[in-house]
Structure 1
């Protein structure tokens, strides 16, 4: 295993324990308990406790929410941006070179199938991927190493990062339904950043030409351009200009044919809603919504004097996407 400093070189401006102490000071000054603050965010009380203890790395969105709830004037978010959260991490030897490129890249364009790319994974999703490791300490090291790569791209003024996700990334369950719902919410939040664009290649669009494997096009600060792909426990690099140009053309066509960032957000939202409550609860809520809709229609028809028979009222209604987002047709098998 190789060792590396985080992308931001030099001594840490502060540390996780100091951030936790500052958070605790503002929380107590505002009259919140850990549980009360967790309910407002919302998150688990244990997450707040671990952040305050300096044993959990929070997202910048957590710091921003705490600033708003505790009325700190933005102190926590500014402090979060100055912290070297991962002063020392370990990557697998075969991935060390890629991690070093991430620390210097000016632009990444990525295509990913089956699982979320590491730069877009939530902490819970990363834990789900490494849950099969025999050692919990080893799993924690791998998770920390993976999350350490994200800070540079999530910071203000971060490098350009464009990710085209095959829809399989949204549908393959890692960890649990709750983990996937959180992961989808994470995608929606990260996709709002000015330097990040997330697009989805929907499964039903068979005309889309997808690369044969997940790949990343890496542009470095001195003009170097690399194509990166992976096989089992191996990373592959190619800086041949002809190879890079060929894959770059393929990627540009793929991105043009994929859903736009806005359309992709609607599909991600649909997937997130699908990971919500369990099926019985969804069915019960759907029945109640249908009953309420029928009652409204009867009242409207009564006022207008129109007539609608009971059979028409019982026809099932298609559930609309969140906030009236557009629905994308799916191909259904012929009988």
Structure 2
């Protein structure tokens, strides 16, 4: 009866249920108890039980251990990657494929904190507001997928990432003051770091801002440049060389008028104080 409640078909159920069903099915085929499998992969019995029921997210590092235990030749590693991207629109899936191959990313954020920089609490609020009908599991899967995008910084070589935030992004409440304080504090170590820089375009230079909510200049390792633009309900990848060049020049112009990373950090700290008052 329990197997009927948690389908084994990886195309059915929530993403977390799909992974849970696969673990249960392959453990059963291998003739292992939950305790035996937990001992093999180095997790507690209680943790493994939660993974099998879908009550806890399966961590990425467990997947190759499951593949080794079941002899599944990369199945769980591939399933994790597939579920990492679940529920993203097709055009954003196309962008994420390019993101993983990028040599450099230069993002303009005119409405929200860039996805690569979002805290779980901030991302959770964004997804919940975007889809009021989503279940908590669905929201958590989307949060996991968004946070999981940061693995691009663990690549070798990893991409240079620069971002410019409109000041309105700092001041637009998402999740309330506590969420905003934690989110803005998380930006401070990113102002001038090993992967790139972060700047803020203040209100008094707003005439230089870009029109889209999001624009990302993507530079690939073969020297190809593309641009991903996103509005409130749609996104597209621009490939025309003349359009890409114009978009890149527009980004460079905004960067020239934005505050330096040091000045941007001062502004962010001031906004944090405002939220704390």
Structure 1 length-normalised TM: 0.56
Higher helix share: 2
- Secondary structure of the residue aligned to 2:158 is coil
Equivalent-residue separation in structure 1 for 2:229 and 2:110 (angstroms): 12
Equivalent-residue separation in structure 1 for 2:267 and 2:246 (angstroms): 29
Structure 1 residue 234, shift from structure 2 partner: 2.3
- Secondary structure of the residue aligned to 1:249 is helix
Report the counterpart of residue 136 of structure 1 in structure 2: 136
Q: Does 1:108 align with 2:113?
A: no
Structure 1 residue 56, shift from structure 2 partner: 8.9
1:267-289 per-position Cα deviation (integer Å, ceiling 9, x unaligned): 1111112222xx4xxxxxxxxxx
Q: Where in structure 2 are there 5+ consecutive unaligned residues?
A: 1-10, 16-40, 45-54, 60-76
Equivalent-residue separation in structure 2 for 1:210 and 1:19 (angstroms): 51
Report the counterpart of residue 269 of structure 1 in structure 2: 269
Equivalent-residue separation in structure 1 for 2:58 and 2:273 (angstroms): 27
Structure 2 length-normalised TM: 0.67
Q: Where in structure 1 are there 5+ consecutive unaligned residues?
A: 4-17, 22-52, 58-82, 280-335
Q: 1:99 aligns with which of 93, 96, 101?
A: 96
Equivalent-residue separation in structure 1 for 2:192 and 2:172 (angstroms): 23
Report the counterpart of residue 26 of structure 1 in structure 2: none
Equivalent-residue separation in structure 1 for 2:42 and 2:249 (angstroms): 45
Q: CA RMSD in A?
A: 3.0
8 Å contact from structure 2 (residues 167, 203) kept in 1 = yes
Structure 1 residues 19, 109: closer, same or farther in 2, change over 3 A?
farther
Q: Choose between structure 1 and 2 for higher RCO, CA contacts under 8 A separated by at least 6 residues.
A: 2
1:294-328 per-position Cα deviation (integer Å, ceiling 9, x unaligned): xxxxxxxxxxxxxxxxxxxxxxxxxxxxxxxxxxx
Structure 1 residues 154, 265: closer, same or farther in 2, change over 3 A?
farther
Report the counterpart of residue 176 of structure 2 in structure 1: 176
Aligned length: 207
Report the counterpart of residue 294 of structure 1 in structure 2: none
8 Å contact from structure 2 (residues 104, 159) kept in 1 = yes
Q: Does 1:158 align with 2:155?
A: no
